[in-house]
């Protein structure tokens, strides 16, 4: 018989071993600090560009490409059908191959016995 051994995974992560790779005090090291600075500069430049364009969108919307209300209504009505097909086809293929929702979850039973 094996003795009951409690398992404290999260506690072990923070109390024993090396420090984890992502820690707050490492943000002041040269590489993370330079990346943070680059993101702040890029965000500031993006905001300045947005304001200088009189707050117009940076990317054109469907109206700029000539979409009408009728064509948008048709497209938005087809979106659930398109998403349903994109979801159903992989599920059907996995089912035919004897897999449950994804290729790494094998189904046991009559389907596997046929193949």
The answer to pTM > 0.85 is: no
State whether residue 103 is helix, strand or coil: coil
Strand partners, 106: 99
Contact 94, 108 (CB under 8 A): no
Chain segment 88-110, per-residue pLDDT in tens: 998 888 877 777 776 666 666 65
Distance set, CA 59 to CA 45, 56, 108 (Å): 16, 9, 50
DSSP state of 20: P
First to last CA, the chain: 40
Per-residue pLDDT reduced to its tens digit, 21-73: 666 777 788 998 999 999 999 999 988 988 888 877 778 889 889 999 999 99
């Amino acid at each position: 018989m094996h003795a009951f051994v409690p398992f404290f995974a999260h506690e072990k992560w923070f109390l024993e071993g090396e420090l984890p790779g992502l820690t707050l005090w490492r943000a002041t090291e040269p590489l993370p600090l330079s990346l943070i600075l680059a993101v702040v500069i890029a965000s500031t430049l993006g905001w300045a560009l947005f304001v200088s364009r009189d707050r117009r969108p940076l990317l054109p919307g469907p109206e700029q490409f000539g979409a009408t209300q009728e064509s948008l209504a048709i497209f938005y009505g087809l979106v659930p059908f398109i998403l349903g097909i994109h979801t159903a086809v992989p599920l059907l293929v996995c089912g035919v191959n004897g897999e449950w929702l994804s290729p790494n979850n094998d189904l046991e039973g009559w389907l596997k016995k046929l193949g």
